[in-house]
Chain A
């Protein structure tokens, strides 16, 4: 049975366009000028217990709106969300006991309190049993290397220290579902590695379900068995990482090394595009649904003095980059 069920979920924001100043405020109050913005558009997916799912998309694609509906902060405007069988918005408090959330750069720890004091307070808020709390604190201190941090107030911590502390605070009540928004952003390689290791360990030992939004390819490759890509509020991909390449690696590039300097007036086959034209070097990108590598290579060899050529496989990194730069949008639309 899935732990998270999202069924035909939509969220439409009504924005009241306001003019600046007092007059604008009054006008907005009495003669509002509404525009609707669809943030999440008939979204459906489900997540099984113990899965680590990468939830990715451009800024504004609807990622954080979805997360806010999953955590109960926002109410859906259409469709339904179930987390552990509950409606997270109407049963917000019950839901809150079973989930943990890391909101990117915004810490949940008290700025001026020593970490241990913050953790004590959070344990009380979540009613963690004292014996269990002690046990977990020892465990976390070891895996996240918190020992020397426990007495330090958050305001004095580095970015990496803050995120380690944040993860401990988020998982101290052993939530069944954890939402992590950019947990490794801005961190150095060592800290990233430690954090990924910790997330993996929690997932392995406690079957914690993790929903992860990230720009970091390393996070996705190391943690996620499955990726959901959304764009303009819709799911455009839901499946394992391995098949992303097939789905989105539509374009390939061939780099030609040419003997002669002049390559003017080339005729290229359909679905092909000249990306770079330098002396002794040509880069051609082609759509593999419309033409093939051999056709492109053949056509060019006839017209230019080709010394060597190489075919580049689409790599995951460039696909993720494309997703985040919004380039996928046009590609999917074709």
Chain B
């Protein structure tokens, strides 16, 4: 408990310092924070233009599609804000030698890596996701009940954890290979599939995005649940899957750390 408190206050301090630096370059902060909005806007406008001319996409209306898109974007933004530094483990810490610094400090090195850089670019994603989901609640008359809000928070946190865990697993390969970014990117970019209803794809892709690279658990199933479509226990699958993936990711991290202790590179 004392440890948890200590880490929480440390994270807060890291975050504060980070914002002090960001505020020094205010224009860049604003551009960065809003940057992802522009990229999301391109996809969203495409959906908007197309859906203006057809009533539904495999039974999904535009509001429902935006709900799926919004849930995914919220989950992604959690990863983007709090765990973006994982991407840089290889090229900014291990290879230049800065990772050694983490190992001579009396705190958890993974915590140190994550706390070292809060990524403000994720704020834009968060806002886009939030607006889409809130818009969905309004337009689709989903009640703002305590249960629904709690479910939403749970789904976003679990979905964010799935993103973080998958990035952690692929980034830990930096302990062995020169450049892990392509590996991480290869897995990460599959999340594009899950911005749209999984049932528009063939069965194989649907299964892959649910069980193999389970980004679908962060968007398609929670959206279905909130929209009152029956997906059974799959509405809750993101929680145990996130827990298992996080545990596996941390195990793999420790294994990578052990390897690093053997080779120092």
- Which A residues lie at the B interface, using CB under 8 A? 13-14, 25, 65, 68, 71-75, 77, 89, 92-94, 96-97, 99, 101, 103, 106, 108, 110, 112-113, 117, 120-121, 124-127
Task: State whether A71 touches B20 (Cβ < 8 A).
Answer: no
Q: Does B263 contact A (CB under 8 A)?
A: yes
User: Which of B13, B101, B177, B263 interacts with A108 by CB under 8 Å?
Assistant: B101
Secondary structure class of chain B's binding surface, majority of residues: helix
Q: Is A121's CB under 8 angstroms from B261's CB?
A: no
10 A-B contact pairs sorted by A residue (CB < 8 Å): A68-B264, A73-B104, A73-B261, A103-B97, A103-B100, A113-B20, A121-B14, A124-B13, A125-B105, A127-B106
CB distance from A51 to the nearest CB of B (A): 20
A252 CB to nearest B CB, Å: 41
Query: How far apart sit A185 and B10, CA to CA, in the bound complex (Å)?
Result: 33
Whether the pair B20, A117 counts as a contact (CB closer than 8 A) is yes
Q: Contacts A72-B104, A74-B261, A97-B106; is A110 near B10 (CB within 8 Å)?
A: no
Q: Closest Cβ of chain B: how far from A185's Cβ, in Å?
A: 16
Of B10, B21, B24, B103, the contact of A124 (CB 8 Å cutoff): B10
Whether B17 pairs with A113 at a CB distance below 8 angstroms is: yes
Let me know if A68 and B100 touch, CB within 8 A: yes
User: Using a Cβ–Cβ cut-off of 8 Å, how many residues does chain B contribute to the interface with A?
Assistant: 26
A75 touches B106 (CB 8 A): no
In the complex, which residues of chain A have a beta carbon less than 8 angstroms from the beta carbon of B98?
106
Q: Let me know if B100 and A73 touch, CB within 8 A.
A: yes
Distance to closest chain A CB from B110 (angstroms) = 13
User: Is B107 located at the chain interface by the 8 A CB criterion?
Assistant: yes
Contacts of B258 in A (CB 8 A): 75
CB atoms of A110 and B17 under 8 A apart: yes
B240 interfacial contact with A, CB 8 Å:
no
Q: Contact at B17–A75, with CB atoms within 8 Å?
A: no
Please list the 3 inter-chain residue pairs (A to B) with the smallest Cβ-Cβ separation, ordered nearest first. Answer: A96-B106, A75-B261, A112-B21
B202: CB under 8 A from chain A?
A: no
A36 to chain B, nearest CB (A): 12
Interface contacts (Cβ under 8 Å), in number, total 70
Given contacts A74-B262, A112-B21, are A125 and B103 in contact (CB under 8 A)? no
Spell out B's residues near A (CB within 8 Å). Answer: 6, 9-10, 13-14, 17, 20-21, 24, 96-98, 100-101, 103-108, 177, 258, 261-264
Give the residue among B6, B10, B100 with the most A Cβ atoms within 10 A: B100
The smallest beta-carbon distance between B159 and chain A, in angstroms, is 31
- In the complex, how many angstroms separate the beta carbon of A123 from the nearest chain B beta carbon? 10
Contacts of A113 on B, CB cut-off 8 Å?
Answer: 17, 20-21
Contacts of A126 in B (CB 8 A): 105-106
By a CB distance below 8 angstroms, the chain A residues around B264 are 13, 65, 68, 73-74
Contact A117 B17, beta carbon cutoff 8 Å: yes
- Once A74-B262, A99-B104 are accepted as A-B contacts, the answer to whether A112 and B24 lie under 8 Å apart by CB is yes
Q: Which residues of A contact B108 (CB under 8 A)?
A: 93
Q: Which chain B residues border A75 with CB–CB below 8 Å? A: 258, 261-262
Q: Can you add 13 more A-B contacts, CB < 8 Å, to A71-B103, A73-B264, A125-B105?
A: A13-B263, A68-B100, A74-B261, A77-B262, A89-B261, A93-B107, A99-B104, A103-B97, A108-B101, A117-B20, A124-B13, A125-B107, A126-B105
Alpha-carbon distance between A101 and B177 when the two chains are bound, in angstroms: 27
Q: Which residue of B lies closest to A89 (CB)?
A: B261
Beta-carbon contact of A14 and B263 below 8 Å: yes
B85 CB, nearest partner CB in chain A, Å: 13
- Closest residue on chain A to residue B98 by CB atoms: A106
CB neighbours (8 Å) of A73 from chain B are 100, 103-104, 261, 264
Which residues in A have their C-beta under 8 angstroms from that of B100? Answer: 68, 71, 73, 103
- Evaluate contact between B262 and A125: CB separation under 8 angstroms: no
Interface-central residue, B100, B104, B264, by most chain A CB under 10 Å:
B104
Rounded to whole Å, the gap between the CB of A91 and the closest CB of chain B is: 11
Task: Assess the B10–A101 pair: CB atoms within 8 A.
Answer: no
